[in-house]
């Protein structure tokens, strides 16, 4: 990943990006268990307290193992595609058993019933991390909109919107990483007088952390922040926060 320095007002983020406690440690966004070696260079890191850092790791492992079990149709480490996840399941028979217990079979199709509380906790944490890193916005309040699930569950027209790049109308926090990623492009439009005009558009594109494994887009339109995440081109998440005067 391209390394981008944050020139936004650092006072916007004080302490742990998840709970506001003291930032004793740094947390990778996304967590390494969702990526494969060799890891991308310059992985994003955000400030985080010890308790949040430890508090999420079991749920993140569960989530990484669940996604792979679904994609491989099995909890057998020998059949798991990602080597690091296969190792995780081998070393934690309890975790493997837990996922195995959630297995269902309908008409010969293997499925797994996810523990949505744990999955949502992980996705919200990732979204908060991306918002803090990309937009310099610590969204600690509950989101105004939250959705996560398999990409294929989205109706086709929603998928198109979900995957598209974002044309930025208003610019977010000056100097944030997201602002520096925006690309300017020129478009030619026909004005009301019939004359052709060139206008500058700002394009906010998806950030590919690791090909086919993890990508996200962070959108800041002043009053609304949107984070979209796609994992293994299978599982997606959308989180929206609306500004209501305070960021807590």
The angle subtended at Cα 71 by Cα 28 and Cα 238, nearest 5°, is: 50
Q: According to the binding rule CB under 5 A, does residue 201 interact with Zn ion?
A: no
Shortest separation between residue 137's beta carbon and Zn ion, angstroms? 16
Binding letters toward Zn ion, positions 33-52, x by CB under 5 A: ----------------x--x
What distance in Å separates the CA atoms of residue 195 and residue 1, rounded to the nearest whole number?
A: 41
> For residues 18 and 139, which CB has a smaller minimum distance to Zn ion in the complex?
18
> For residues 52 and 88, which CB has a smaller minimum distance to Zn ion in the complex?
52
Which of the ranges 17-25, 105-113, 188-196, 197-205 carries the binding residues for Zn ion, by CB under 5 A? 17-25
Residues 6+ apart with CB under 8 A from 152: none
Near Zn ion by CB under 5 A: residue from 6, 8, 13, 16: 16
Q: Which among 55, 116, 122, 66 is positioned nearest to 89, based on CA atoms? A: 66
Shortest separation between residue 52's beta carbon and Zn ion, angstroms? 3
What distance in Å separates the CA atoms of residue 123 and residue 120, rounded to the nearest whole number?
A: 5
Shortest separation between residue 53's beta carbon and Zn ion, angstroms? 8
Q: According to the binding rule CB under 5 A, does residue 55 interact with Zn ion?
A: no
- Using CA atoms of 232, 236, 242, 248 in order, give the dihedral in degrees to the nearest 10: -60
Binding site for Zn ion (CB under 5 A): 16, 18-19, 21, 49, 52
């Amino acid at each position: 990943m391209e390394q981008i320095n944050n020139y936004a007002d650092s006072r916007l983020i004080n302490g742990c990006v998840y709970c506001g406690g003291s930032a004793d440690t740094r947390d990778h966004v996304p967590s390494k268990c969702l990526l494969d070696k060799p890891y991308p260079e310059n992985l994003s890191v955000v400030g985080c307290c010890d308790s949040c850092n430890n508090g999420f790791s079991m749920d993140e492992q569960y989530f990484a193992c669940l996604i792979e079990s679904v994609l491989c149709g099995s909890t057998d480490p020998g059949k798991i595609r990602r080597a690091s996840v296969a190792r995780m399941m081998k070393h934690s028979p309890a975790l493997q058993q837990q996922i195995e217990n959630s297995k269902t079979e309908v008409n010969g199709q293997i499925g797994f019933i996810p523990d949505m509380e744990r999955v949502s906790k992980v996705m919200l944490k990732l979204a908060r991390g991306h918002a803090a890193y990309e937009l310099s916005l610590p969204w600690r309040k509950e989101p105004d909109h939250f959705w996560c699930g398999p990409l294929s569950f989205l109706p086709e027209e929603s998928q198109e919107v979900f995957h598209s790049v974002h044309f930025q109308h208003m610019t977010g926090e000056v100097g944030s990483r997201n602002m520096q990623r925006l690309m300017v492009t020129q478009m030619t439009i026909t004005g009301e007088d019939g004359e052709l005009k060139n206008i500058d558009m700002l394009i906010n594109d998806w950030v590919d952390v690791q090909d086919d494994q993890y990508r996200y887009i962070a959108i800041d339109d002043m009053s609304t922040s949107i984070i979209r995440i796609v994992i293994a081109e299978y599982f997606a998440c959308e989180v929206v926060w609306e500004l209501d005067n305070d960021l807590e």
